[in-house]
Amino acid sequence: MSAITNITSTAQVSIEKRVAELISQMGLDEKIGQMSQLQGGGNSIPHDLAESLRASRVGSILNEVNVDIINEMQRICVEESRLGIPLLIGRDVIHGFKTIFPIPLGQAASWDPDIIEAGARVSANEAASAGVNWTFAPMIDITRDPRWGRIAESLGEDPYLCGVLGTAMVKGFQSNDLSKPGSIAACAKHFAGYGAAEGGRDYNTANIPENEMRNVHLRPFKRVAEAGVASFMSAFCDLNGVPATGNTWLMDDLLRKEWGYQGMVVSDWESIVEMSVHGFTHDDEEAAYEAVMAGIDMEMASSSYHDHLEDLVAQDKVSIEQIDTMVARVLKLKFELGLFEKPYTDPDEHVALLDKSALKAAKQAAVMSCVLLKNERHVLPLSHADLGSVAVIGPLADDGYEQLGTWVFDGEAQHSVTCKQAIEEMIGRTVDINYVKALDTTRSHNDDGFEEAVAAANKSDAVIVVVGEESFMSGEAHSRADIDLPGHQAELIKAVASAGKPVVVVIMAGRPLTIGNILDHADAVLYAWHPGTMGGPAIADLLFGIESPSGKLPVTFPKMVGQVPIFYSHKNTGRPATDHTCFNMEEVEPRASQTSLGMTSFHLDAGYKPLFPFGFGLTYGDIKYVKITTSHRSISLGETMDIAADVVNTGSRAAEEIVQLYVRDLVGNVTRPVKELRGFKRVSLKPGERKRISFSLHTDELAFYNRKMEHVTEPGRFHVWIGGSSDAELWADFEIHS
């Protein structure tokens, strides 16, 4: 009989009481065991691990997805350990389990919380069928450096958008009840500042003033904490001189005391012992002490808690009360997941992997994630009725593995449908498909296949070139200093463009790439990110007009890497650049005086604007914004006002547009960004249709942290814009008075 029967389990008794009752029966070694997460993933359970499970020395297993092994591990814990405490089973389910969705940055380009929630729901159901009950997502680090490999896992550069979409992902993973079949615990990561790593190099130092932390980097974390995310993960980075994993201000003063967060906090992989590598602690024992003082409830992968916490308690450096508080948070999550009532997984009780509904959801997510960056002379959508032949060219046109993207552990390329396959399926019966890979990989500099590619373009009515990055080129530890298209892909595009046929470039990548050098050689550019299992059918539907693109960029695209970091919500500076003050150095006469150089904030060789702004994305319609109004010219603190504008589709095709609301506080106790996103709505427009779109804005939504770190809305003047990107020009103003 399981020892779990000794624990009160009537529905009337609160989880808190059950946790306290269980802790009262535990020895110190068992408590420390609950704070330890070990690596799994073998074909069997090693003897030493089985003994640790029996001795209650393990609270969680990481990276085991064999349901039979997981069930056996749970059986050992529940039936052979003294107190019968089940395991948390953790896995990186980042953008899918078996059914792979677009990378999170791609999903963010949908600007659609419902799509993101649906994807997380599918992922949770599939992962739960394997025995996984905890995922390490969403990643809601604010990311403004495309060199950083983990930008692919992020939801972009804007705190408001990240917060909205991150909350949707949490809801999808957890549903409204963690104990419900198919629900898994989510984890908000990486807390905090990890996305601001110096130089875009992963794991690097982040130096962020507290005011910027609060006004930018912490905002999405606070939002998901308020939404009930089950756990947080500490960041790898040194934040302002103190590694996040041992940062008491961040983890305890702010997260616990100020925000009142009661969920569990886990370290990142070995980030506790890595504090010694940072030079913050002398050894693993001191690292364990600092992590406990900060409030890290569970150690991932390394063993400093197992090795040193008993000694730290014996030395009176760590109290039993501290340990009990941390263990209580671990046990609380296990009770919330219903693991004490149902520790085992029956795959037959879950939906089938890769079923029709999952593939449909993945395809729809991929459709809505694609961003149309260029569409000269409305070359898209292509009409297969007008085509006798199409060239499909490029290293990613028929590569089911690479289209899955980074950080995919359980998805398999054999289930992917590629662009070539989807185009053949759609039009191959009536249109000749001339396929040439041209380059072996995206990094290849071998041009031997170019002649065949140009020949295919010459004998085709239109050319589709699928290029980008291989999946390994983004993700953890995979940062890039050069973010151009790798290899000779730009040269390939130029070569096939010489045939004089319409050229459509599809780009699959894990980050914004600097693609200015190919724009003049492409009639249309569709940015598909890494689109996942159903990327091919989604792209084919968009190219041939079955679907209409509606994605918007969740990050700014630089012209060149030297502009980085570049983002829309920058400060104005005392000398802001304008079109009148900005010029290119090639325009300057030789031996020009220094005072002729404009004296404003821009680059001589790149100007001050990006290649594509945050929020940008074309549709197959022609969208215009007119007639902005505000319900009041002046409101008091605590009041709400409405801002509205007409959105018109002057084109000949139906379109979906994401209407965006931006605000600027003209004068603040601390300087404020030139624009900040404060709302967005999706609108469907028939050809010629006009709709009035309205936003409500409460003065509390304009609050920020001032010099005293007070969260306040200040009276004063504000500008407000409604448009299709952060470059929106249609504006009005209003005033808030006290």
Structural domains in the chain, sorted by start = 1-85+305-336 (no CATH), 363-543 (3.40.50.1700), 623-737 (2.60.40.10)
Tell if the pTM clears 0.85, that is, is over it.
yes
156-167 residue pLDDT tens: 999 999 999 999
User: Is-contact 128 350, C-beta < 8 A?
Assistant: yes
Q: Is 310 helix (H, G, I), strand (E, B) or coil?
A: helix
Strands 676-685 and 640-649: unpaired
Strands 134-135 and 88-91: parallel
Angle, helix 320-336 to helix 284-294, in steps of 10 degrees: 70
In this prediction, what percent of the chain has a pLDDT beyond 70?
A: 98
Helices (H), 520-627: 535-543
Q: In the numeric block, which tokens belong to residue 541?
A: 């539907």
Whole-angstrom distance, CA of residue 78 vs CA of residue 640: 54
Q: In the numeric block, which tokens belong to residue 586?
A: 């090639």
- Residues 170, 175, 180: CA angle, nearest 5 degrees: 135
308-340 residue pLDDT tens: 999 999 999 999 999 999 999 999 999 999 999
User: Is-contact 139 153, C-beta < 8 A?
Assistant: yes
At 588, the pLDDT band (50, 70, 90 cuts) reads confident
User: Is-contact 74 344, C-beta < 8 A?
Assistant: yes
- What is the pLDDT at residue 352? 87
Max Cα distance, the chain (Å): 90
- What is the pLDDT at residue 351? 80
Whole-angstrom distance, CA of residue 544 vs CA of residue 103: 23
- What is the pLDDT at residue 591? 85
Mean pLDDT to the nearest integer, 138-146: 99
Cα of first residue to Cα of last residue in the chain, in angstroms, is 67
- What is the pLDDT at residue 51? 98
171-214 residue pLDDT tens: 999 999 999 999 999 999 999 999 999 999 999 999 999 999 99
Whole-angstrom distance, CA of residue 110 vs CA of residue 114: 10
**Catalytic residue of the set 202, 268, 284, 398:** 268
- What is the pLDDT at residue 595? 64
At 6, the pLDDT band (50, 70, 90 cuts) reads very low
Across 84-221, the runs of DSSP E, i.e. the strands, are: 88-91, 134-135, 187-191
Mean pLDDT to the nearest integer, 520-528: 99
- C-alpha 392 chain-centroid distance: 30
- Whether 535 has a pLDDT exceeding 60, the answer reads yes
- Residues 207, 209, 210: CA angle, nearest 5 degrees: 125
Whole-angstrom distance, CA of residue 375 vs CA of residue 580: 28
At 268, the pLDDT band (50, 70, 90 cuts) reads very high
- What is the pLDDT at residue 598? 67
Task: Return the bridge partners of 697, or none.
Answer: 641
- Whether 650 has a pLDDT exceeding 90, the answer reads yes
Helices (H), 459-584: 489-497, 516-519, 535-543
Mean pLDDT to the nearest integer, 720-732: 99
Q: In the numeric block, which tokens belong to residue 320?
A: 């039993």
- Residues 337, 341, 342: CA angle, nearest 5 degrees: 75
Closest CA to 317 of 285, 354, 347: 285
User: Is-contact 405 152, C-beta < 8 A?
Assistant: yes
580 contact partners, CB below 8 Å, separation of at least 6: none
- What is the pLDDT at residue 587? 87
- What is the pLDDT at residue 348? 86
Q: What is the mean pLDDT of the chain?
A: 97
Active site residue 348: no
